[in-house]
Structure 1
Amino acid sequence: MSKSLNFKISRYAKIEIGFFLLYFYVTGLLSSFEYNLWEKGQFGISYEDLEFGLVYGTFNLIAFFIFYRFLQKCLLIDKIWAFVGLILAFMLMYFFFKKATYLLVSKLDFLSAQIRTNALKWYHLKRLGFTVSYMMTQFFGVAYLAYFINSAKQNEQLRTLREQQLVSELTYLKAQLQPHFFFNTLNNIYSFALQKADETAPLVSRLAEMMRYILYNAEEKLVPLKDEVNFIRNYVEVETIRYRPKISIGFEMQGIDSSSEISPLLLLPFVENAFKHGIQEEEGAGFVNIVIHSLEQELTMEVKNSISKTRCKTGGIGLINVKKRLEILYPGKHSLEICSDGIIHEVSLTLKMK
Structure 2
Amino acid sequence: MQKLSLKWNWRYLRIELFVLFFISFMISIISDLEFSTYEQHDVSRFAEDLDYRLVCGAFSFIMYGGFYWLFLKRYVLKSNIWGVLLCLTGFVFVNQIANHYILNWIIVHADFISADIRARTLGYRLNFAVNYLFISVFFPLLGLAFLIRTLQQNEAMKTLKEQQLFSELNYLKAQLHPHFFFNTINNIYSLALQQSPLTAPMVARLGELMRYILYEANQNKVFLQREIQFLNNYVEVEQMRYTEEKRITFDVQVVEASHQIEPLLLLPFIENAFKHGLAEETDDGFVRIVVCATERELILEVVNSKPKGNAYRKVPGIGTENVRKRLELLYPNRYTLEVQEDYKQFHVNLTLMQA
Q: Which TM-score applies when normalising by structure 2?
A: 0.85
Q: Any stretches of 5+ residues in structure 1 without a counterpart?
A: 1-6
CA distance in 2 between counterparts of 1:21 and 1:168 reads: 44
Superposed displacement of residue 307, structure 1? 2.9
- Which secondary structure does the structure 2 equivalent of 1:49 belong to? helix
CA distance in 1 between counterparts of 2:100 and 2:74 reads: 27
Contact 1:29/1:49 (8 A) holds in 2: no
Superposed displacement of residue 44, structure 1? 8.1
Paired position in structure 2 for 1:4 = none
Counterparts of 1:1-354 in structure 2, within 5 Å, are 10-36=10-36, 39=40, 41-43=42-44, 46=47, 49-69=49-69, 70-78=71-79, 83-105=84-106, 108=109, 112=113, 114=115, 115-122=117-124, 125=125, 127-128=127-128, 130=129, 132-133=131-132, 135-309=134-308, 312=311, 313=313, 315-341=316-342, 343-354=344-355
Percent same amino acid at aligned positions? 41
Q: Amino acid of the residue matched to residue 175 of structure 1?
A: A
Contact 1:102/1:119 (8 A) holds in 2: no
1:252-289 CA distance string (max 9 Å, x none): 22122222221111000100111112221322212211
The worse-fitting range, judged by mean Cα deviation, of 101-110 and 260-269 is 101-110
Alpha-carbon distance change, 28 to 244 in structure 1, aligned in 2, over 3 angstroms: farther
CA distance in 1 between counterparts of 2:279 and 2:236 reads: 15
CA distance in 2 between counterparts of 1:192 and 1:253 reads: 28
Alpha-carbon distance change, 90 to 249 in structure 1, aligned in 2, over 3 angstroms: same
1:180-222 CA distance string (max 9 Å, x none): 1122112212322343322223323322332232233212222
Contact 2:97/2:126 (8 A) holds in 1: no
Contact 1:36/1:42 (8 A) holds in 2: yes
Paired position in structure 2 for 1:3 = none
Contact 2:92/2:133 (8 A) holds in 1: no
Superposed displacement of residue 15, structure 1? 2.1
CA distance in 1 between counterparts of 2:155 and 2:173 reads: 27
CA distance in 2 between counterparts of 1:86 and 1:177 reads: 56
Paired position in structure 1 for 2:4 = none
- Which secondary structure does the structure 2 equivalent of 1:336 belong to? strand
Q: Amino acid of the residue matched to residue 180 of structure 1?
A: H
Contact 1:288/1:303 (8 A) holds in 2: yes
What's the RMSD between the two structures over aligned residues? 2.8
Contact 1:260/1:297 (8 A) holds in 2: no
Alpha-carbon distance change, 273 to 88 in structure 1, aligned in 2, over 3 angstroms: same
Q: Amino acid of the residue matched to residue 351 of structure 2?
A: T
CA distance in 1 between counterparts of 2:102 and 2:349 reads: 74
CA distance in 1 between counterparts of 2:29 and 2:299 reads: 61
1:296-351 CA distance string (max 9 Å, x none): 32111111222345764363111111000000000000011123345422211111
Alpha-carbon distance change, 214 to 152 in structure 1, aligned in 2, over 3 angstroms: same
Superposed displacement of residue 107, structure 1? 6.1
Contact 1:281/1:308 (8 A) holds in 2: yes
Q: What is the aligned residue count?
A: 344
CA distance in 2 between counterparts of 1:171 and 1:261 reads: 18
